[in-house]
């Protein structure tokens, strides 16, 4: 084992005499994809967990330097496969801001509705997978029933179920119809009833509460030092949501709350995400009420000419702040595109978070971070 | 051939085939019940409603290669599944399925059953140790600690019944429940026994030795083919044994409302009660998350054992007074 | 301007760091600053004290030297700071991973992609790329594509080409 290279120097402490290494992943049921965590352990206690990344690395940033925006568009949907639409959103908005392209209002509403549906789907997936990590097999099938309903709705208009490439610079590629609106409204009603089921099945369960309370506590200071964002930061009581903080699209027009936790433990992160699902429903509901008529795709020059220089665009993806930072040398191909993915910073907290906790707690803590590994590896 | 020998051969064949049949029925039941709990159809492909699926699965497992990992202790690795399977067959020899259907009637049947079910721990220990796999070893640590701890409240809860009946004979205990089931007078003992039984058989929410999300598959991570299926058979046989003890000691065994089935009435009632309890076990598994290891231990030592002791004490006092 | 942001600007000015304001509506961040490598750690320390978190660390291959780009932002107000630091002759730059622990992985990634050495990094091993690909440095430009740092600074193109009617059929 390449211990020296991973800087796991033997502990000099005599208590840690019995330590050994355990390889969790890359094929392990609770690492959700191809993450490997090299654990230095003493009995069931973890002394030092070191994630080993890169199994799903595709070098999207390099690809971006060789393609114009249209050709790179599908790549944006392939980083965070669980919530691809916010990635679409950030990418097209970056270009629109740079090139000063007007987006029709209807298109912005459609973007918000679909993005929020996508966030909902992502939280469904997380809820099921998190409970699976805790050893409860059934909730994932319940959340997948609900997830399927949203995916069916989204499939109708976007043409795909997972790796969306639906937004275009200047709008979206296909208009939504009345059928979409009715189905979405029906779904909102249905989903509200389902929260009771989740709460009865999971939230009130004493075993569940005992497993998550006080596990994986992230303090505000820790979150700041690691640049943690999204529901993980909000679980620690940090009132930070790009949708409120640096409003983009038509988000300022909607009335929604940012759920916050207090202690920063896994339970808080769970509650934050569960409440976020309800807030997403609220946003969708309002957006459907206000949905203006009009074109869904604005007038866009055939070949975008970007100004020289750098610019940045941040959106709130399902897992936290997603920032595209582009340096352009003119022309329609970026000179450099840096993609800041939320899970990357959220996972980098693990070596500190996992020190001295039990293996079972590490699994819980990792599950509560809601990781999507292809997003981290890019 | 002396008739006694013939009887034993027939009994051995019957018992082993019952263990296989039980695994098949339970396997099917578990997959169907879990499917319906999870709102999906479950097995549907092989035979009507997939009833033949388990036969196909069995054939598949027999046909599979038994991979022996490198660096393992090959003898112990192969021995462990047999060590797990053999003792779990033996309790069926003394279980009274009805008034007449009991292969051997011993005065110490209960002790015999408890002794046999305890051997399973040794098998898990051997399996985990011989696999040369850290996950297996983890599963083994947990399993041994868990089984040793939970045996105490289990025995204590059974002792309170023994105090009431003054016999270790299972038929004797059933006979003592002539007017009422012991669950009515010993509800706490029943609950303690059933929880300990869940832990003893490594069932969720106490399935830590094979905690999938933490230890991949725990002690049987490295086992494939028949090696795995022996553990599988043993697990289901142990579940059956635990539930049949609960049935005999607390639910009146084979006694029940007379049915127009002649001598079969006892068997039907017995099986109904046992499979009812097994259903509860399956139900719990597909509903609850898994507890953490330290919680498992503190639950046993801080709650189950004191309550079992208190229950035993009260029972002793009451029995003495009456 | 948010009072905390004003305080940030004046505090940094007191330490001789001058933030240049940018138009957020055009560029998506509020301040930019270029620094020499030896003042990087001091600057990072100041920002941590002002409760700014690290958004990302990324590289940019330009002439004459590779630039490392840092973006910082605040949790409670819209305030983004972009910091550019050019590496020295040995492709080296001091680490800030002891100030911002989150920089640890970003710096390892930048080392993978650009070959920048972060002096003082506690664990300088490949993160995203495999260990045998350590010489790959995939984001380095070829000489033909390489541009001057000055040629990539912000210039607003005032006139966009005429809107093409067929554009949305592409």
Q: Do A226 and C78 touch (CB under 8 A)?
A: no
C–B touching, 3+ CB–CB pairs within 8 Å = no
Q: Do A205 and B37 touch (CB under 8 A)?
A: no
Task: Write down the mean pLDDT value for chain C.
Answer: 81
Please give the residue range of the domain that contains residue B161.
3-321
Q: Do A207 and B134 touch (CB under 8 A)?
A: no
> Do the interacting molecules here have an ipTM over 0.90?
no
Q: Which residues 339-368 of chain A have a CB within 8 Å of chain C? A: 340, 344-345, 348-349, 352
Give the residue on B whose Cα is nearest the Cα of A44.
Answer: B138
Closest CB to B213 among A201, A205, A363? A363
In contact, A216 and A265? CB cutoff 8 Å: yes
pLDDT of residue A272: 92
Can you tell me the distance from the alpha carbon of C162 to that of A3, in angstroms, rounded to the nearest whole number? Answer: 60
Average pLDDT over residues C49-78: 87
Give residue-wise pLDDT tens across range B254-274: 877 777 777 778 888 888 889
Can you tell me the distance from the alpha carbon of C59 to that of C62, in angstroms, rounded to the nearest whole number? Answer: 9
In contact, C55 and C112? CB cutoff 8 Å: no
Give residue-wise pLDDT tens across range C23-49: 787 788 888 888 888 888 888 888 888
In sequence order, what DSSP letters do the residues of B278-319 get, joined into one string? HHHHHHHHTTSPPPPHHHHHHIIIIIIHHHHHHHHHHHHHHH
Q: Residue A59 corresponds to which tokens in the numbers above? A: 């070098």
Give residue-wise pLDDT tens across range A340-362: 999 888 888 988 888 888 888 88
- Asked if the model's pLDDT at residue B204 lies above 80, the reply is no
Report chain A residues whose CB lies below 8 A from the CB of B286. Answer: 137-138
Can you tell me the distance from the alpha carbon of A168 to that of A161, in angstroms, rounded to the nearest whole number? Answer: 17
Q: Residue A54 corresponds to which tokens in the numbers above? A: 């890169």
Q: Do C75 and A233 touch (CB under 8 A)?
A: yes
Percent of chain B having pLDDT more than 70? 98
Of A227-231, A361-365, B308-312, C129-133, the range with the lowest mean pLDDT is C129-133
- Asked if the model's pLDDT at residue A3 lies above 70, the reply is no
What is this structure's pTM?
0.85
Question: pLDDT-based confidence at C88, cuts 50/70/90?
Answer: confident
Q: Are strands A171-172 and C92-94 parallel, antiparallel or unpaired?
A: unpaired
Number of structural domains chain B divides into: 1
- Asked if the model's pLDDT at residue A30 lies above 80, the reply is no
In contact, A48 and A8? CB cutoff 8 Å: yes
Give residue-wise pLDDT tens across range A176-197: 888 889 999 999 999 998 888 8
Report chain B residues whose CB lies below 8 A from the CB of A359. Answer: 138, 214
- Asked if the model's pLDDT at residue A373 lies above 70, the reply is yes
In contact, A78 and A314? CB cutoff 8 Å: no
Q: Residue C4 corresponds to which tokens in the numbers above? A: 């905390």
Average pLDDT over residues A238-251: 87
Average pLDDT over residues B148-163: 88
Question: pLDDT-based confidence at C160, cuts 50/70/90?
Answer: very low
pLDDT of residue B1: 66
Can you tell me the distance from the alpha carbon of B125 to that of B136, in angstroms, rounded to the nearest whole number? Answer: 9
Question: Position of tokens 């389902």?
Answer: A194
Q: Do B289 and A361 touch (CB under 8 A)?
A: no
Q: Which of C7, C31, C11 is nearest to C21 (CA)?
A: C31
Count CB neighbours of A70 within 10 A.
Answer: 14
Q: Which of C72, C49, C50, C68 is nearest to C60 (CA)?
A: C68
Q: Residue B234 corresponds to which tokens in the numbers above? A: 């043993």
Q: Do A211 and B292 touch (CB under 8 A)?
A: yes
pLDDT of residue B213: 65
- Asked if the model's pLDDT at residue A286 lies above 60, the reply is yes
Give the residue on B whose Cα is nearest the Cα of A144.
Answer: B38
Can you tell me the distance from the alpha carbon of A243 to that of A253, in angstroms, rounded to the nearest whole number? Answer: 11
Question: pLDDT-based confidence at A139, cuts 50/70/90?
Answer: confident
CA distance B295 to chain A (A): 8
Question: Position of tokens 């997939």?
Answer: B50
Segment holding A130, helix H or strand E? helix A105-133
Q: Residue A207 corresponds to which tokens in the numbers above? A: 């075993």
pLDDT of residue A41: 83
In contact, C57 and C103? CB cutoff 8 Å: yes
Segment holding A39, helix H or strand E? strand A36-42
Question: Position of tokens 């009130």?
Answer: A204
In contact, B286 and B205? CB cutoff 8 Å: no
| Chain A neighbors (3+ CB pairs < 8 Å) | B, C
pLDDT of residue C165: 43
Closest CB to A70 among C126, C166, C170? C170
pLDDT of residue B223: 84
Can you tell me the distance from the alpha carbon of B129 to that of C77, in angstroms, rounded to the nearest whole number? Answer: 57
Q: Do B289 and A44 touch (CB under 8 A)?
A: no
CA distance A143 to chain C (A): 31
Give the residue on A whose Cα is nearest the Cα of C105.
Answer: A348
C–A touching, 3+ CB–CB pairs within 8 Å = yes
Report chain A residues whose CB lies below 8 A from the CB of C130. Answer: 54
B–A touching, 3+ CB–CB pairs within 8 Å = yes
Question: pLDDT-based confidence at B116, cuts 50/70/90?
Answer: confident
Q: Do B211 and A136 touch (CB under 8 A)?
A: no
- Asked if the model's pLDDT at residue C168 lies above 70, the reply is no
Report chain A residues whose CB lies below 8 A from the CB of C58. Answer: 325, 336, 338, 340
The half-sphere exposure of B124 on its side-chain side, counting CA atoms within 13 A, is 32
Of A295-304, A350-359, C72-81, the range with the lowest mean pLDDT is A295-304
Can you tell me the distance from the alpha carbon of B225 to that of B94, in angstroms, rounded to the nearest whole number? Answer: 30
Question: Is the backbone of residue C115 left (phi > 0), alpha (psi -120 to 50) or beta?
Answer: left
In sequence order, what DSSP letters do the residues of B168-230 get, joined into one string? --HHHHHHHTSSS-HHHH-HHHHHHHHHHHHHHTT-TTS-GGG-HHHHTTGGGTT--HHHHHH
- Asked if the model's pLDDT at residue B124 lies above 60, the reply is yes
Percent of chain A having pLDDT more than 90? 8
In sequence order, what DSSP letters do the residues of B91-114 get, joined into one string? HHHH--SSSS--S---TTHHHHHH
């Amino acid at each position: 084992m390449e211990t020296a290279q991973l800087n796991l120097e033997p502990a000099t402490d005599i208590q840690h005499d019995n330590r050994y290494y355990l390889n969790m992943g890359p094929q392990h049921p609770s690492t959700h994809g191809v993450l490997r965590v090299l654990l230095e352990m003493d009995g069931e206690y973890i002394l030092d967990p070191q994630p080993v990344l890169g199994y799903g690395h595709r070098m999207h940033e390099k690809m971006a330097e060789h393609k114009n925006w249209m050709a790179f568009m599908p790549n944006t949907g392939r980083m965070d496969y669980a919530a691809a639409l916010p990635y679409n959103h950030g990418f097209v908005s970056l270009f629109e801001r740079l090139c000063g392209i007007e987006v029709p209002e209807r298109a912005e509403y459609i973007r918000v509705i679909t993005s929020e549906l996508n966030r909902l789907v992502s939280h469904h997936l997380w809820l099921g997978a998190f409970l699976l990590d805790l050893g409860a097999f059934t909730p994932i099938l319940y959340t997948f029933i609900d997830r399927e309903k949203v995916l069916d709705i989204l499939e109708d208009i976007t043409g795909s179920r997972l790796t969306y490439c639906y937004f275009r610079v200047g709008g979206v590629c296909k208009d939504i119809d009345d059928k979409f609106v009715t189905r979405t409204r029906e779904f909102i009603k249905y989903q509200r009833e389902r929260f009771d089921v989740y709460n009865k099945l999971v939230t009130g369960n004493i075993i569940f509460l005992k497993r998550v309370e006080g596990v994986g506590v992230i303090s505000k200071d820790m979150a700041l030092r690691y640049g943690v964002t999204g529901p993980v930061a909000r679980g620690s009581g940090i009132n930070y949501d790009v949708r409120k903080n640096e409003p983009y699209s038509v988000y300022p027009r909607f009335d929604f709350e940012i759920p916050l936790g207090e202690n920063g433990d896994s339970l808080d992160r769970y509650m934050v995400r569960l409440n976020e699902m309800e807030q997403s429903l609220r946003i969708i509901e309002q957006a459907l009420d206000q949905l203006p008529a009009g074109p869904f795709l604005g007038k866009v020059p055939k070949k975008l000419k970007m100004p020289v220089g750098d610019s940045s665009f941040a959106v709130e993806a399902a897992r936290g702040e997603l920032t595209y930072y582009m340096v352009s040398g003119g022309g329609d191909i970026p000179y450099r595109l840096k993609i800041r993915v939320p899970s990357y910073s959220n996972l980098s907290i693990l070596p500190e978070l996992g020190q001295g906790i039990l293996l079972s707690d590490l699994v819980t803590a990792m599950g509560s971070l809601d990781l999507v590994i292809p997003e981290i590896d890019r | 051939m002396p008739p006694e020998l013939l009887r034993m051969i027939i009994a051995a064949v019957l018992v082993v085939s019952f263990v296989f049949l039980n695994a098949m029925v339970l396997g099917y039941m578990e997959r169907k019940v879990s499917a319906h709990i999870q709102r999906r159809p479950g097995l549907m492909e092989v035979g009507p409603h997939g009833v033949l699926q388990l036969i196909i699965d069995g054939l598949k497992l027999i046909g599979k290669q038994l991979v022996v990992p490198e660096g393992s202790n090959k003898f112990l690795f192969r021995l462990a599944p047999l060590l797990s399977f053999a003792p779990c067959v033996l309790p069926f020899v003394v279980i009274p399925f009805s008034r007449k259907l009991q292969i051997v009637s011993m005065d110490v049947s209960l002790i015999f059953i408890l002794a046999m079910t305890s051997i399973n721990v040794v098998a898990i220990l051997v399996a985990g140790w011989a696999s040369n796999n850290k996950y297996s070893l983890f599963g083994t640590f947990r399993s041994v600690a868990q089984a040793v701890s939970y045996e105490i409240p289990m025995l204590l809860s059974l002792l309170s019944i023994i105090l009431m009946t003054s016999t270790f004979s299972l038929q004797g205990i059933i006979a003592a429940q002539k007017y009422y089931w012991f669950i009515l007078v010993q509800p706490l003992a029943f609950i303690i026994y059933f929880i300990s039984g869940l832990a003893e058989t490594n069932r969720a929410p106490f399935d830590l030795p094979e905690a999938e999300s933490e230890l991949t598959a725990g002690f049987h991570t490295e086992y494939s083919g028949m090696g795995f299926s022996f553990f599988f058979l043993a697990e289901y046989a142990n579940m059956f044994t635990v539930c049949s003890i609960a049935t005999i000691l607390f639910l009146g065994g084979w006694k029940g409302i007379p049915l127009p089935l002649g001598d079969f009435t006892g068997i039907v009632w017995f099986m109904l009660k046992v499979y009812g309890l097994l259903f509860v076990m399956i139900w719990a598994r597909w509903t609850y998350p898994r507890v953490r290891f330290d919680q498992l231990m503190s639950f046993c030592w801080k709650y189950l054992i004191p309550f079992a002791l208190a229950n035993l004490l009260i029972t002793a006092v009451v029995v003495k007074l009456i | 301007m948010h009072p905390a942001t004003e305080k940030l600007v004046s505090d940094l000015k007191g330490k001789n760091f001058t933030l240049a304001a940018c138009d957020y509506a055009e560029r998506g961040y509020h301040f930019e600053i270029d620094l020499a490598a030896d003042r990087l750690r001091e600057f990072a320390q100041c920002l941590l004290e002002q409760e700014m978190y690290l958004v990302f660390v990324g590289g940019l291959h330009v002439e004459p030297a590779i630039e490392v780009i840092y973006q910082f932002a605040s949790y409670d107000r819209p305030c983004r700071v972009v910091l550019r630091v050019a590496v020295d002759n040995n492709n080296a730059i001091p680490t800030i991973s002891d100030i911002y622990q989150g920089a640890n992985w970003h710096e390892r990634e930048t080392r993978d992609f650009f070959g920048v050495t972060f002096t003082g990094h506690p664990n300088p091993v490949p993160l995203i790329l495999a260990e045998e690909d350590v010489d790959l440095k995939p984001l380095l430009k070829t000489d033909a594509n390489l541009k001057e740092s000055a040629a990539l600074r912000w210039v607003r193109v005032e006139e966009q080409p005429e809107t093409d009617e067929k554009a949305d059929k592409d």
